[in-house]
Structure 1
């Protein structure tokens, strides 16, 4: 890691970077929550919505990292996103997944000086895997999980959800998320270089 990146990494708690964290975390949450709402129509649409959300969030996160270039950016985002997910009715374990993955993503992006395409894309891919957090209670408390789905969405929806979202599907989805996220982050880096850097935003 270079001296410049070290200096910048020490300033995650600066007012500028804290504002960046708040703004970009809000954008990330809105994008993912809005696209995830497609799941209302059918359980399978939840995965389609999240996939679409990852595309948007990749661009958001590439700009976020370019503007902060500080260790802790993903950790803060992971913690806040996890807490917001719990506040909106999702599993309590979510912030316990999203925060450590944010820490891992910080370490990866810092290793590339926050500018290397490979490490920025890999960091986003690792961070994005937190999305399986809300589904994890299916592993140890499936009856309670689907009973809650039934109360909010109806028994027919809950039955369809149960038949679709199994433990192997959750494991496979984690792999799919990592692959999609990595690819979308590569796209996000291209958008960053082509548009935001030329405009002086990044």
Structure 2
């Protein structure tokens, strides 16, 4: 009995050791994820309605490179470092600092879900991406507690006065709350899309 317990404990322990290959994969797929998300987010300059649509689309599209990344993940810590890279980059281009904390918290939840699935469960991988996608909530979180400061930030001023007015009208607290609650749903869709493409295309091509 003790031998069995010991074996299970060894199998379930959280290993956070990073190899050079792990770090390369994190950097490579982190960059691919940022580019994929960034392509859709460029549409936000059109108007605030498109901003919300582009964020939803970027979450779905981001599921593809993220699922490819998960085929390289073998232990805890990799998703958290991935989140640090992604949210750190977002701060550099003008996103609110609170997004970093939200991103790390979302990554830790994703780490737990992936670990429970032994890093091989497609279902756990989809759930992990849905949890990870919650980092997008941090992009608009200051609108709940520092709205005026957010709307007067240099990033928003670049959009123009008309855009800011429309943005303020559209993104009411109720709309933001609804969008935040929908974020994991977009993540589930993106994760499912990523799994489907892995099975149909990437594995055949030897990429997963």
TM-score above 0.5: yes
Equivalent residues in 2 for 1:1-202, closer than 5 Å:
10=15, 13-148=18-153, 151-202=157-208
Instruction: Decide whether aligned partners of structure 1 residues 12 and 29 sit closer, same or farther in structure 2, where only a CA change above 3 A counts.
Output: farther
**Which of 1 and 2 has greater Rg?**
2
* Deviation of 1:70 (Å): 2.2
Output the TM-score relative to the length of structure 1. Answer: 0.91
Aligned residues: 201
Report what 2:3 is aligned to: none
Q: Which runs of 4+ in 1 moved over 4 A?
A: 1-7
Measure, in 2, the Cα distance between the counterparts of 1:141 and 1:51: 23
Asked if the contact 1:12–1:18 (Cα under 8 Å) also holds between the matched residues in 2, the reply is no
Structure 1 pair 4–69 and aligned structure 2 pair: CA distance change class (3 A): farther
CA distance in 2, matches of 1:12, 1:44: 43
Query: Shift of residue 167 of structure 1?
Result: 1.7
Q: Would the aligned equivalents of 1:12 and 1:68 in 2 still touch at CA under 8 Å?
A: no
What TM-score, normalized by structure 2, do the two folds share? 0.89
Q: For the structure 1 residues 125 and 157, does the alpha-carbon distance in structure 2 shift closer, same or farther, using more than 3 Å as the test?
A: same
Structure 1: which 5+ residue stretches go unaligned? Answer: none
1:43–1:164 CA contact under 8 A, matched in 2: yes
Give the conservation status (yes or no) of the 8 Å contact 2:44–2:51: yes
Deviation at residue 12 of structure 1 after TM alignment: 5.0
Deviations 1:50-102 (A, max 9, x none): 22212221011111011222211221111111111111011011111001110
Does 70-79 or 148-157 show the bigger shift? 148-157
Where does the alignment leave 5 or more consecutive residues of structure 2 unmatched? 1-6
